[in-house]
A = this chain, B = another copy of it.
């Protein structure tokens, strides 16, 4: 099957001829596989879900697909050739899987580029610093900058020592206290330091475990048009490795504060056109009622975004492929959405909510996979308790793959914009003690994903998605259009 050279309006043509030639051959093989005997015929509802789970475990292409995506396209930063490659790949794969209405829905996305980066401690002892600029940071002046370091533990210590920050680089060597708490320094550290006159901000990478791998992630500048921030410069921000941050802090504790030289070549270019990728299994009885299963196709520009969120993408793609192969489609429409730009501005999730505003009343559920390719433990349901209870009933057959924990909780970032409009949100929950070791770092690569774990998650998501789409009563009744 030929691959269109420009499949997404406005997106640059994919320039990787060798990869595309290979993909064409690979897809021909996959298309042939679709002519194989269909999955066992469905029986009673629970039996059908169980058979779907068994099929997912026996015939999961998820790991092979994830390797394709990660190895041949690479990381997928908005505006990059890697994301363009991934968009083309996802469209081609969904079409080969026999999904209906496969399409790219245009989304305007930010276009931040990292550029070259380097840093070193120049005194009292000279050593290179490993770092990654934070997503969205401004660059340093072209000649770089050099300043004494002020090392603080947290925002409270910065406030107490604010008078020392002027003209310095502030390092937040904050201890790891879980993502939700620690990530605040990545998000808001630069502005907090800039308020006190700092010229740049460094943080300890947001992780509890490190092998000298720095972790990036998005940071934010408050709106300088807001009078509270007028005149505060936007200063560059980067994450050091845990190792380097610790060494600088220990030197400071000895009375040997460091002097640091920093160069970040980061730039923010004009927004660029990208897309959400959508495909469907049309419902046999109520095709206008929709069960959405989604993940995000973009990633950071280091590693290859294998767990975050290549894994989620192939889980939902594989779940849809298996459901499309059933002897009959489920009652409602299953819609797969690969969102773009989760990591930076969530433009994909917003765009979906806008473009599909008139359909949201008939979205009976939205399930997001963005927790990594680990074994499933259950689902968190962002809806009222009667809906949580019904999801728990529907998820009964998933006990065979370990997805037993169904409780109230967060659905997901991409779906949050439609959840805010009343769509029940469902988040894929996994057993992932090592997720943060890899997260947003060069270590988030295919070799970290276990094929069996991924197949178990495909089974859990396929089973629940099918049950939601087949359930005689919808998870929530269709809401009359306003």
Contact = CB atoms under 8 A, between A and B. Distances in A.
A443 B210 contact: yes
Nearest to A207: B211
Interface stretch (A2-10, A123-131, A420-428): A123-131
A43 interface: no
Contacts of A256: 18-19, 22, 72
A272 to B, nearest CB: 19
Given A210-B211, A247-B446, A18 B254 contact: no
Nearest to A249: B71
Given A18-B124, A124-B19, A250-B67, A243 B443 contact: yes
A287 interface: no
A339 interface: no
Interface in A184-235: 209-213
A13 interface: no
How many A residues touch the partner, as a band? 35 or more
A453 interface: no
A442 B418 CA distance: 44
Interface string A231-267: 0000000000111001100110011100000000000
B71 A250 contact: yes
A445 B125 contact: no
A359 interface: no
Most chain B Cβ neighbours within 10 Å, of A210, A243, A441, A447 = A243
Contact of A442 (B70, B73, B212, B447): B212
A71 B121 CA distance: 12
A133 B130 CA distance: 17
Interface in A25-80: 26, 67, 70-74
A274 interface: no
Contact of A16 (B26, B124, B250, B437): B124
| Identical chains in the assembly | 2
Contacts of A71: 125, 247, 250-251, 254
Contact of A211 (B125, B211, B251, B304): B211
Contact of A123 (B18, B241, B247, B443): B18
A211 B246 contact: no
A244 to B, nearest CB: 8
Contacts of A209: 211
Contacts of A73: 125
A256 B67 CA distance: 13
A212 B132 CA distance: 14
A427 to B, nearest CB: 26
A446 B250 contact: yes
Nearest to A19: B124
A198 B446 CA distance: 29
A416 B104 CA distance: 67
A208 B71 CA distance: 21
A22 B253 CA distance: 12
A18 to B, nearest CB: 4
Contact of A19 (B72, B125, B446): B125
27 contacts: A16-B124, A16-B125, A18-B123, A18-B124, A18-B256, A19-B124, A19-B256, A22-B124, A71-B250, A71-B254, A72-B251, A72-B254, A73-B125, A74-B125, A74-B127, A130-B442, A209-B211, A210-B211, A210-B447, A211-B211, A211-B442, A212-B213, A213-B213, A241-B442, A243-B442, A247-B446, A250-B446
Closest 5 CB pairs of A and B: A18-B124, A212-B442, A211-B211, A211-B443, A212-B443
Given A241-B442, A243-B443, 13 more contacts: A16-B125, A18-B124, A22-B256, A70-B247, A71-B125, A71-B250, A72-B251, A73-B125, A130-B442, A211-B437, A212-B303, A213-B213, A246-B445
